[in-house]
Structure 1
Amino acid sequence: MDNGLRPDRRPAIAICAWDPGFTAWDPVEDLSGDPWSPVGARTLPVSGDVSAEALAARLSALIASGECGALLLVGRTAHPGTFRLQTRAENKSLTGAERLDHTGPGVVRATAPAAEIVRDLSAAGLTALAASDAEEDAGSYILYRILNDLPDGAASPAIGLIRAPSNVPDAKVQVAVKAAASVIARHLAPLPRSSAA
């Protein structure tokens, strides 16, 4: 860890619960006030306390600036009983009545390692699946915006969205988010020396 003398070269994973009412994921576990971080990376908690449009812009800017090398969106699913890793998002406005981007692709695919995340969730004792159906909510809207805003030709950062069923306790949500973030962290390289903060 950082001892105050050397820069922290761990890459950052932004973790964001897009609905401020979703309190099951709390990155701060103890009185230190420091957010939990997976091995090999550091967590950059991002509050979902703004509109979906503003949050999508904020997260896209974090990725574009290089401030974070990966993103995990966290929220609820309308489906009971199973954690769902959403693997794609559709080109729809927040109301779902029209296309969000008239020149953008109809569907974009999440870039997080879905099969590996589902495997690790299952190994942690959670029922999980990779779901290609996009739920019509702010999470899907934000996922589309961020993936569609990625520049062409650049190496794609790992971007994923994990959904928790409403009937699971907060402790299981914590396990699921940590497992997903830990998988993403295994695929991140340390920051170059000139970029370490």
Structure 2
Amino acid sequence: MDTGLRPDRRPAIAICAWDPGFTAWDPVEDLSGDPWNPVGARTLPVPGSPAADVLAAELSALLSRGECSALLLVGRTVHAGAFRLQMRAENRRLDGADRLDHTGPGVVRATAPAAEIVRDLTAAGLDALAASDAEEDAGSYILYRILNDLPDGAASPAIGLIRAPSDAPNTKVQSAVKTAASVIARHLAPLPRPNAA
């Protein structure tokens, strides 16, 4: 039976504030209950969790199953002043005492278009920089886990982590996340058309 509804071919960007206590990013803008979407894509809000290992596995599974084409992690930075786009993550356990993966690379690089995101954040009136240092928290741990779990040979999805300074008001955090997600969306291709039955 043909319902007349066209399938949504917009690629999905999973957006996750890994810390449940970080409430500055709210994907729902109004009373409709629908999450905000950038032009050309749709967002897939993923709630944070205090169990970083479980959340990392969940986000990796979303990517591997093709339920999203990109991922943006959102959280706080320990540094003052600017929004920071974290460009890499180190192979460290959550407690920082040892390597997480004894056979994995020491450092992995985020795949989101960092320079373009920083440029657009600056154009939106937000102080921003691309940071090479990895902060020792659950965000860096999750970023490493996801990037390290990507299969070899496949085109890498855009995966990034944006950090807000602790004094940034919610409106600026919302603007920064939307700007970063909009940049990522510009690089995503529409989903393929379903095969006719």
Q: What is the TM-score normalised by the length of structure 1?
A: 0.96
Deviation at 1:49, TM superposition (A): 2.7
| Aligned-pair CA distance for 1:29 | 0.4
Partner of 2:106: 106
1:188 deviates by 0.1
Gaps of 5+ in 2: none
Residue in structure 2 matched with residue 188 of structure 1 by the alignment = 188
Give SS of 2:71's match.
strand
> d(CA) in 2 for partners of 1:162 and 1:37?
18
Q: Distance in 2 between matches of 1:46 and 1:77?
A: 20
TM superposition shift of 1:106: 0.1
CA-CA distance at 1:50 after TM superposition: 4.6
Q: Quick one: which amino acid aligns to residue 87 of structure 1?
A: M
Amino acid of the structure 2 residue aligned with 1:73: L
Q: 2: distance between equivalents of 1:156 and 1:50?
A: 27
Taking only the aligned residue pairs, the percentage that are identical comes to 84
> Corresponding residue for 2:17?
17
The CA distance in 2 between the partners of 1:65 and 1:90, in whole Å, is 25
Q: Distance in 2 between matches of 1:192 and 1:60?
A: 22
What RMSD, in angstroms, separates the aligned Cα atoms of the two structures?
1.2
Rounded Cα–Cα distance in structure 2 between residues aligned with 1:50 and 1:185: 28
Kindly report which structure 2 residues correspond to 1:35-114, keeping only aligned pairs within 5 A, or say none: 35-114=35-114
Distance in 1, Cα, partners of 2:167 & 2:119: 21
Q: Give how far 1:4 is off.
A: 6.7
- Per-residue CA distance 1:148-173 (angstroms, 9 max, x = gap): 00000000000000000000100000
Secondary structure of the corresponding residue to residue 56 of structure 1: helix
Q: Cα offset for 1:144?
A: 0.1
Letter matched to residue 189 of structure 1: A
Q: Matched residues in 2 for 1:115 and 1:158: separation? A: 13
Tell me the residue number matched to 1:29.
29
- Cα distance in 1 between the residues matched to 2:188 and 2:74: 20
Aligned partners of 1:64, 1:157: CA distance in 2, in Å? 10
Structure-2 separation of matches of 1:4 and 1:178: 31
Which amino acid in the other structure matches residue 61 of structure 1?
A: A
TM-score of the superposed pair, with normalisation by structure 2: 0.96
SS of residue paired to 1:24:
coil
CA deviation map 1:123-145 (0-9, x unaligned) = 00000000000000000000000
SS of 2:156 mapped into structure 1: coil
One-letter code aligned to 2:152: D
Q: Distance in 2 between matches of 1:32 and 1:129?
A: 34
Matched, 1:142 2:139: no
Counterpart of 2:118 in structure 1 is: 118
1:169 aligns with 2:169: yes
State the 4+ residue runs in structure 1 displaced beyond 3 angstroms: none
Aligned mates of 1:101, 1:188 — CA distance in 2: 30
SS in 2 for 1:30: coil
